[in-house]
Amino acid sequence: MRYWTTAGALAILFLFPLVWSGWASLEDPGDYVRMAGFGEGLGTYATNSVLVSAMTVAGTLAVSALGGYAFARFPFPGRNLLFLATLAILMVPYATILIPLYVLLGYLGLQNSLVGLALVFVMFQLPFALYMMRNAFEAVPRELEEAALVDGCGTFRAFRAILLPAVRPALVTVGLFAFLASWNDFFAPLILLNDGSSFTLPVAVVSMTQRTFGAIDYGMLQAGVMTMALPCLILFVILQRHYVRGFMSGALRG
């Protein structure tokens, strides 16, 4: 009973700000009308966020699945050193390399570009994603892959038809983390994007606080917060089962 009480108290504590924001955003329906017409328009900002998140998820899944498979199955010189070097990205302060990345994207012709922003997000997601996918592939019995090879499957076909379905929970977990990171990030879009028509939702929502004479339209701001939060909540609820299985089967191994 004590554990249920503690869990209930923690749930209320964490849900209260979300419930309060939802109530505040619905108090005046006109808040959503003003939010929809703010700046370049809600449709523009939402489309930018969707595009960046989709590219980040696709890039992270593609690179981490292939990389995790290689780290788990193929011995090659310097494998452990390369894996540790990838994990070392986690020790680099996020904000300290955004300016060098901004200059690098300029050389590549990707400055003020949603594609460039997505590539930056993919880079920062790779350490966690590779760790998850390597452990997930190592948890799959090698006999499954060997049986497929004996039956005439090539390495890539065995990877696609046998191994990828076996590590689906880890893929969902990696994809969900990549989506949440790219959808909610504010600092990288603020630094790497300088055109209002390219801004993502977090930058647009923060811009709503910059009103005349310092006045803040809290109703419109809360409407923007709920617009950002709802896709995350819906995805988490839908994918919760795979998310938990992904952590249990992959992240805790090794």
CATH number of the domain enclosing 227 = 1.10.3720.10
Mean of pLDDT values over 168-184: 90
- pLDDT winner (highest mean) among 32-46, 144-158, 180-194: 180-194
Give me 114's structure tokens: 């949603």
Q: What is the dihedral of CA 60, 65, 69, 72, to 10 degrees?
A: 60
Residue recorded with tokens 């003003």: 34
Structural domain total, the chain = 1
Query: Domain residues for 102?
Result: 2-251
User: Given pLDDT bands bounded at 50, 70 and 90, which one contains residue 195?
Assistant: confident
Give the global pTM.
0.84
Tens digits of residue pLDDT in 139-168: 888 887 777 777 777 778 878 888 888 888
Residue 215 φ/ψ, nearest 5 degrees:
-70, 145
Mean pLDDT, the chain, integer:
82
Higher-pLDDT residue of 44 and 32 is 44
Separation CA 75–CA 160 (nearest Å): 20
Tens digits of residue pLDDT in 70-107: 888 888 888 888 888 888 888 888 788 888 888 889 89
Given a contact cutoff of 8 angstroms between Cβ atoms, the answer to whether 195 and 4 are in contact is no
pLDDT at position 252: 47
